[in-house]
Amino acid sequence: MAKHAARGAHQRAAWSSKLGFILAGAASAVGLGNLWRFPTLAAKYGGGTFIFTYFVLAFTFGISLLLLETALGRHTRQSVIGAYSDLRPRWKFLGILSAAVPFIITPYYCIIGGWVVKYLTSYVAEGPASVMADGFFGAFITDPFFTYVFMIIFMLLCIIVVALGVKNGIEKANMVMMPLLLVMAVGISVFVLMQPGALEGAKYYLVPDFSKFSPELVINALGQMFYSLSLAMGIMVTYGSYLDRKESLTTSVASIAGFDLVVSFLAGLMIVPAAFMALGLGEGGTMAAGPSLMFVTLPQVFGGMGGAAQVIGIVFFVLVLFAAATSAISLIEACTSIIQDGTHWSRGASLLACSVFVIAAGCFINAGYNALIWMEPLGPGTQLLDFFDFLSNSVMMPIVALFTCIFVGWVMKPKFIIDEVRVSSKFSLAGLWAIMIKVIAPVLVIAILVANVLPMIFPS
């Protein structure tokens, strides 16, 4: 292993500080998943009950996996494929499987990033009335020309940041975007809570309704946690590989998870009461899920706020843009690093290859909304984007997480990760952590996998 540490020390990019690493991890974690998936799930599963369950899972299971991945990266100084094959050549398949996940997610994530750019420019150029007009969203996402243009604009923005490098691009961009994102999230939440009727909505969001507690809630909270913390897709392994061995891993991963939780919580605080006011959720209304919550319901809610509508719309979509861009940057960085480690091409050539792939695959998936709309891969009304989202989040990520736990817990044995963590910090919970990785995590992950995949095989 010393061979790789030495090689890595000369060749690999590196964070300039622990803060750079924490912000980058948080920037990857905080994204569309926090802004639309978390509030939707919280509203569906009894508000406080879901929030509580999610927080407990994130701070036990989530943090354990985060620690595992970052320590693995730092130990091997490699992105995923190299990391696994260095340790056990027969486990290279796991590296390949993990590496495939960001290649699947990046193209479709950037399509949604393009929608966000479109909304932001429409709010600025045309004002809130055009955005909240009936059919605006549906007409835009099926547009056979402008969706491609906005997707490519979003991709180029992210590619430029990655091209500037780990220290000069990613770190600097995060230093600006992440604090601003937090300020905007607090600002919008306060503004929304000051609207008439919003406190009722906040109560709905915060007060636990334990009758909604169910295995299904736990499965959904677990799935959300993987996606939100950017786990099981090689990103955190790559990011750990850029971290100096003197920086504490335990405090870093706790800060990353903490940042992610705070933003998810705030997202719920701004979105659930807003949707509550607009839809009267308390009287049995149901909150729109996924994209339509953010792109249809919220513009309508903002539209009802009189003169503030344009400003709040702009601030909100700048926030969403920052969240989406920082996550997409981490995805592109992970793909680039995987290509670079696999081919030994220069970083520039690897980024170019990654960009060509992402743009081509993005165009293909985007065609699922226009030229290829007949495909309906997961049944009537579904698009290619839904298919790739399902494949990455519901199938591949749990499989990768399961094998990762088996590999570290049973094949390599947890001690090598514990030793790596202890290089730079105390790790008094090492025993508990090992039980989590060996036993608890695999059982939970199998439950997610069964719950996600069985309904596909045996539709009810």
How far does CA 449 lie from the centroid of its chain? 19
Of 324-332, 381-389, 415-423, 437-445, the window that binds ligand PFF (rule: CB under 6 A) is: 324-332
> Interhelix angle for 80-87 vs 309-343, to 10°?
40
Q: Among 105, 110, 253, 396, which residue interacts with ligand PFF (rule: CB under 6 A)?
A: 105
311: CB partners within 8 A, 6+ apart:
none
Interface residue with ligand PFF, options 8, 20, 25, 33 (CB under 6 A) = 33
Choice between 106 and 122, CB closer to ligand PFF: 106
Is residue 31 involved in binding ligand PFF (CB under 6 A)? yes
Give whichever of 29 and 68 is closer to ligand PFF, judged by the CB atom.
29
Among 110, 235, 271, 354, binds ligand PFF (CB under 6 A): 235
| Residue 34 touches ligand PFF, criterion: CB under 6 A | yes
**Segment lying near ligand PFF (by CB under 6 A), choices 4-12, 162-170, 226-234, 304-312:** 226-234
- Residue that the structure tokens 């009936």 belong to: 134
Q: What is the SS3 assignment for 71-117?
A: HHHHHHCCCHHHHHHHHCHHHHHHHHHHHHHHHHHHHHHHHHHHHHH
Amino acid at 324: A
Of 23, 26, 32, 43, the one binding ligand PFF (CB under 6 A) is 32
Complex with ligand PFF: residue 213 or 357, whichever CB lies closer: 357
- 330 binds ligand PFF, rule: CB under 6 A: yes
SS3 call for 202: helix
Side-chain-side CA neighbours of 287 within 13 Å: the count stands at 34
Tell which one of 20, 73, 82, 102 touches ligand PFF (CB under 6 A).
102
41 binds ligand PFF (CB under 6 A): no
Q: How far is CA 436 from CA 215, 408, 440, in A?
A: 19, 11, 5
**Shorter beta-carbon distance to ligand PFF: residue 247 or 260:** 260
HSE-up of residue 257 (Cα within 13 Å, Cβ side): 25
Class of residue 344 by CB neighbours under 10 A (exposed 0-12, middle 13-18, buried 19+):
exposed
Nearer to ligand PFF, 31 or 442 (CB): 31
Q: Closest distance between ligand PFF and the C-beta of residue 329, in Å?
A: 9
Amino acid at 163: A
Q: Does the footprint of ligand PFF cover residue 230 (CB under 6 A)?
A: yes
Q: Which is nearer to ligand PFF, 49 or 326 (CB)?
A: 326
Judge contact between 129 and 299, C-beta under 8 A.
no
Contact residues for ligand PFF, defined by CB under 6 A:
28-29, 31-34, 102, 105, 227-228, 230, 233, 235, 327, 330-331
